[in-house]
């Protein structure tokens, strides 16, 4: 009797999986990846610090620091070609996505640039201690808006919006 119930349950599960429509995707349409159980959590920014990140001011430059196992890392080295030309760095916002993934939004005053504030989004993996992606935020305004909804983070200045899914910038 138990064997008959088990076989019946397996058949019902298989049939339920076959009852899905197989519709083709529209060409050119970008779909959001499936949302994991994790969502973005804003991290409090206090002056020059936010979570495990801090601005380190030196005589000739500024660093966006993270205290790694091997010493202090300057995250801006993975973002710009000339991290030594940072006139200033400001941490605008930081979001965590799970226990070991962060997205930082930072503005910089890079010497010689025409924009008053160049803004970057940086994704950082604290488990493996490296910057796994970075992108510039479109626009020259100093003000920016961000909205976190589940696994989607939208960042906007006066240009086009930047959307980041699952805490990773690709």
pLDDT means over runs of 10, the chain (170 residues): 48 48 53 76 95 91 93 94 84 95 90 72 97 94 90 94 94
* Cβ atoms of residues 53 and 91 within 8 Å: yes
* Cβ atoms of residues 91 and 104 within 8 Å: yes
pLDDT number for residue 39: 92
pLDDT number for residue 163: 96
pLDDT number for residue 81: 87
Taking the complete model, does pTM exceed 0.85, yes or no?
no
* Cβ atoms of residues 79 and 134 within 8 Å: yes
pLDDT number for residue 58: 86
Encoded tokens for 42: 């804003």
Q: In a 10 Å sphere around its CB, with 0-12 CB exposed, 13-18 middle and 19+ buried, how is residue 50 labelled?
A: buried
């Amino acid at each position: 009797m138990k064997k008959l119930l088990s076989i019946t349950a397996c058949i019902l599960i298989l049939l339920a999986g076959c009852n899905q429509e197989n519709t083709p995707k529209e060409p050119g349409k970008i779909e959001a990846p499936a949302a994991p159980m994790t969502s973005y959590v804003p991290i409090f920014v206090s002056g020059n610090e936010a979570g495990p990140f801090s601005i380190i001011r030196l005589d000739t430059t500024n660093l966006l620091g993270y205290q790694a196992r091997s010493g202090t890392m300057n995250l801006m080295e993975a973002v710009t070609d000339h991290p030594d030309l940072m006139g200033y760095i400001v941490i605008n916002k930081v979001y965590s996505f799970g226990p070991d993934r962060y997205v930082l939004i930072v503005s910089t005053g890079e010497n010689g640039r025409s924009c008053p504030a160049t803004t970057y989004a940086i994704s950082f993996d604290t488990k493996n201690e490296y910057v796994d992606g970075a992108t510039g935020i479109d626009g020259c305004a100093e003000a920016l808006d961000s909205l976190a909804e589940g696994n989607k983070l939208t960042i906007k200045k006066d240009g086009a919006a930047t959307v980041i899914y699952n805490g990773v910038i690709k």
